[in-house]
């Protein structure tokens, strides 16, 4: 990690209105650093005085955020060699995708005639799992070009933002946003577009970190859910449904957990507390990560009841 890099200059930032209600008055809430990547800079979140949404302000302009999604960014999953733990890492990543698919299948039946869209698809492994297990037509959108990953050859991949895509008359039976909405610069526009792309009876599944969670109370300014500067918003159990409803969506299920392992937030939160902004070297952390997961296995059996880190909503148009 190159810690000699400078913090972003002031001219790269903008002061947005509240992404939920459009208000322009907010109270300072919390300040975060790039705890995962270790890049310099301090990034500020405030709570909207009108609706209570916590959002980053000022924030990097969209054209300057791309460097924070480099080849080391975990969602893009370009690193595959983890030494002797490679099989365990591969199994864990596969389990994550299997857990996602198991969650959505509770609410939507998928088969060879289904169409699935994943917004902010990252490495695309979830879509590869969907196609392999259900035969559904799978399409992913991400602003980084990840088309060169080997399993992408069997998927439809579109680079850019959702607003830039023209799907014509095509509609989707399932649309997913796995840890994407908290990164979005225009969330209401994205949600409205997703609503319009749903087929009759289609489902929209969204998973985000939960601000009013045990892990936030434990780690505060080192909470992994802050993930500054990439995260533009921090949702709690009240503000997430409010945004969805404003976008014309109906929430049919709201879960206090997700497919993403809450243990990752517990491990990283503790690591961030110790490292204090110096960045987490995943190549070195992988050994204590899996050791700690084994030790905490009895506690993690009750993850869905403990409101540890995540929330998931299932919506309909």
Percent of the chain with pLDDT over 70: 94
What Å distances lie between residue 239 and 54, 132, 246, 313, CA to CA? 9, 35, 11, 12
Res 86: pLDDT? 82
User: Is the pLDDT at 3 greater than 70, yes or no?
Assistant: no
Between the CA of residue 93 and those of 77, 90, 133, 139, 185, what are the distances in Å?
9, 5, 16, 20, 27
**Is 90 exceeded by the pLDDT of residue 155?**
yes
Nearest in space to 33 (alpha carbons), one of 298, 291, 280, 213:
280
Q: In this structure, is residue 1 part of a structural domain?
A: no
| Mean pLDDT, residues 4-23 taken together | 93
Total domains, the chain: 1
How many CB atoms sit inside 10 A of residue 301's CB?
9
74 vs 287, residue with greater confidence: 287
pTM of the model: 0.94
Question: For the segment 194-247, what is each residue's pLDDT rounded down to a tens digit?
Answer: 999 999 999 999 999 999 999 999 999 999 999 999 999 999 999 999 999 999
Residue 266: inside a domain, yes or no?
Answer: yes
pLDDT tens-place string over residues 78-126: 566 667 778 888 888 899 999 999 999 999 999 999 999 999 999 999 9
Could you tell me the CATH number of the domain that includes residue 165? 3.40.50.150
pLDDT at 55: 98
* Structural domain for 192, as ranges: 10-316
Higher model confidence: residue 55 or residue 74?
Answer: 55
Alpha helices in the chain (DSSP H): 86-105, 125-134, 187-197, 214-219, 239-246, 262-275, 282-295, 297-300, 303-306
> Above 70 in pLDDT, residue 76?
no
Q: How many Å is the Cα radius of gyration of the chain? A: 19
Domain-located, residue 4 = no
Q: Three-state DSSP class for 201?
A: strand
From the CB of residue 113, how many other CB atoms can be counted at a distance below 10 Å? 10
The reply to whether 2 falls in a domain is no
Q: Is residue 273 part of a domain?
A: yes
What is d(CA 157, CA 162) in angstroms, rounded to the nearest whole number? Answer: 12
Mean pLDDT of the chain: 93
Tell me if 3 is assigned to some domain: no
Distance CA(44)–CA(55), nearest Å, equals 8
- Percentage of the chain beyond pLDDT 90 is 82
Positive/negative CA dihedral, 17, 20, 23, 28: negative
The answer to whether residue 71 scores a pLDDT higher than 80 is no
* Residue 218 lies inside a defined structural domain of this protein: yes
- Tell me, yes or no, whether 306 lies in a domain: yes
């Amino acid at each position: 990690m190159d810690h000699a890099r400078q913090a972003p200059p002031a001219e790269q930032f903008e002061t947005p209105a509240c992404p939920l209600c459009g208000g322009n008055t907010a109270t300072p809430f919390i300040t975060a650093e790039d705890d995962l990547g270790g890049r310099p800079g301090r990034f500020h979140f405030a709570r909207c005085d009108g609706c209570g949404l916590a959002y980053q302000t000022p924030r990097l302009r969209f054209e300057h955020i791309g460097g924070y999604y480099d080849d080391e960014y975990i969602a893009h999953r370009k690193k595959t060699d983890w030494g002797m733990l490679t099989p365990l890492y591969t199994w864990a990543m596969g389990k994550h995708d299997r857990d996602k698919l198991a969650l959505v299948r509770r609410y939507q039946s998928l088969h060879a005639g289904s169409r699935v869209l994943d917004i902010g698809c990252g490495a695309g492994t979830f879509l590869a799992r969907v196609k392999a297990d259900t035969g559904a037509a799978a399409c992913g959108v991400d602003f980084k070009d990840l088309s060169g990953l080997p399993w992408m050859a069997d998927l439809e991949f579109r680079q850019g933002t959702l607003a830039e895509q023209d799907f014509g008359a095509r509609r989707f039976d399932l649309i997913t946003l796995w840890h994407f909405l908290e990164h979005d610069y225009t969330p209401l526009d994205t949600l409205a577009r997703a609503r319009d792309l749903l087929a009759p009876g289609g489902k929209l599944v969204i998973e985000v970190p939960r601000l009013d969670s045990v892990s936030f109370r434990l780690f505060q300014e080192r909470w992994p859910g802050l993930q500054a500067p990439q995260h533009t918003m921090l949702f709690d159990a009240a503000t997430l449904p409010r945004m969805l409803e404003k976008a014309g969506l109906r929430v049919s299920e709201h879960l206090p957990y997700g497919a993403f392992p809450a243990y990752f937030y517990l491990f990283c939160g503790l690591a961030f507390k110790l490292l204090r902004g110096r960045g987490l070297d995943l190549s070195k952390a992988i050994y204590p990560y899996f050791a700690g997961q084994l030790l905490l296995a009895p506690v993690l059996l009750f993850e869905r009841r403990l409101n540890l880190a995540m929330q998931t909503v299932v919506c309909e148009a």
